[in-house]
Structure 1
Amino acid sequence: MDSLIPTLAIWALPVLLAITLHEAAHGYVARYFGDPTAHLAGRITLNPLKHIDPVGTVLVPIAILAASTFLAGGGILFGWAKPVPVDFGRLRRPKADMLWVAAAGPFVNLLMALGWAVLFKLAAGMPHGTYTVPMMKMADAGMQINTVLMVLNLLPIPPLDGGRIAVSLLPGRLAWSYARLEPFGFPILLLLLATGLLGTVLWPFVAGFRFLLASLIGL
């Protein structure tokens, strides 16, 4: 427990920011393209309480962190928030604009990963003191959770963002058929998670992007 509490303190802010801004971005872009549903529901906000899912935002990340702390290898940390409501039929060009709404979340995670990388670089250049090491650990956590969420959500499985992007890009009849897979998307993810295949699929992309981040900031 003594080691879990500092771990939670380091990861709490990066996880909340990654999930909250990801969902708010979907709602903001949807409103820009003509759908006010998320705005009317009060979901275009930085208030994490509006986005928190008790299981996906709290229990799952804590369980993975606890497993990583006590069992030395709990897997890739990820989570999810309550999905922002989007009525794609209210977008000005529903099929085309779906791409931008879906891509907004992973794009914000990309920006946050870059921001945390810059903070890590700045902290690494400071004289080591009481705050520099925790700052570096938090920045590393921010890079990790945003990279994982970006890569995870770009998997072409509806209702993940990658699945919605695929539906937007596919021709009409094929897009319709692909969209009908959405009810099976979450069970597929749970199966991949339970069998360990999710981490196997994600890890090469996560590791590759982390290497790219390290190269960009000169580490």
Structure 2
Amino acid sequence: MDQLERFLAYDLDELPYVIVSLLIAFTVHEFSHAYVAYKFGDPTAKNEGRVTLNPISHLDPIGTLLILIAGFGWARPVPVNRFHFKNPKLAGVLVSFAGPFSNLIIAILGFLIFYGLLAAGAGPDLPFFVQPFLNVLINLNVLLFVFNLIPLPPLDGYRIIQDLVSADLRAKMTQYEQYGSLIFLILIITPLSHYTIRPILDTGINFVGGTLSQFLSLLFF
């Protein structure tokens, strides 16, 4: 067990909560992209069976495994064809934002359930796994919300920027996107992450998580 734990980004006793939370977070995230794209007139994702809450349709085996080992990873990207949109800029922004926003909603629901149980006096009587599961569910979804809004390819934040800029600038961004993706990987997998991505994540997670916690707790206490 100790040897296995050395290769994981999480403690073994936390691993079941992480796996279930990942299944929920990744599935809802990718479903939201696919559903919003379909509602704006793009049937591409629907035709590939992605407008579903079945995790098997959305999980990438390697990306999921890396989450457990390295602490970062990915799900299967949802295919989007902007040419089906009547208003490509608006639809593109909303489709890209739908994924991170769904993670924010899950985090909010997690907080509401947690504070609701405490306010009802159910804390001491809860099964042992409820509080740690909610804690992981909330933290992981806040992380995914903040992480995916970083404006670097291939993240959703970059796609949002692409749809907000002019057509000429979008074309230039697309031309150099492969280099941006390489830079992103370097920032993630090297010690540079401690000076670039990690401070952004820590600041964003503390702000979003702290704000949600303070605001939502006022509804119950």
**Percentage of matched positions with identical amino acids:** 36
Q: Which amino acid aligns with 1:98?
A: G
Q: How does 1:163-202 map onto structure 2 within 5 Å?
A: 163-193=158-188, 194-195=190-191, 196=193, 197-202=196-201
Question: Does residue 152 in structure 1 map to residue 158 in structure 2?
Answer: no
8 Å Cα contact 1:119-1:136 kept in structure 2: no
Distance 2:150 2:205 in 1: 12
Q: Which residue of 1 aligns with 2:96?
A: 102
Q: Which residue of 2 aligns with 1:126?
A: 122
8 Å Cα contact 2:153-2:184 kept in structure 1: no
Residues 190 and 158 from structure 1, CA distance in 2 versus in 1: closer, same or farther, beyond 3 angstroms?
closer
Q: How does 1:74-93 map onto structure 2 within 5 Å?
A: 77-93=71-87
Q: Which residue of 2 aligns with 1:215?
A: 214
Q: Which amino acid aligns with 1:101?
A: V
Normalization by structure 2: what TM-score?
0.85
Distance 1:140 1:180 in 2: 41
8 Å Cα contact 1:158-1:179 kept in structure 2: no
8 Å Cα contact 2:18-2:136 kept in structure 1: yes
Question: Does residue 15 in structure 1 map to residue 22 in structure 2?
Answer: yes
Q: Which amino acid aligns with 1:60?
A: L
Provide Cα deviations, 1:107-126, integer angstroms capped at 9, x if missing partner: 11111110111122134441
Distance 1:40 1:82 in 2: 15
Provide runs of 4+ in structure 1 moved above 6 Å. none
Q: Which amino acid aligns with 1:211?
A: G
8 Å Cα contact 2:17-2:137 kept in structure 1: no
Give the superposition deviation at 1:12: 1.5
Give the superposition deviation at 1:218: 2.2
Q: Which residue of 1 aligns with 2:8?
A: none
Normalization by structure 1: what TM-score?
0.86
Q: How does 1:21-100 map onto structure 2 within 5 Å?
A: 21-57=28-64, 59-64=65-70, 77-100=71-94
Q: Which runs of 5+ in 2 are unaligned?
A: 6-10
Distance 1:175 1:127 in 2: 51
Q: Which amino acid aligns with 2:62?
A: V
Give the superposition deviation at 1:100: 0.9
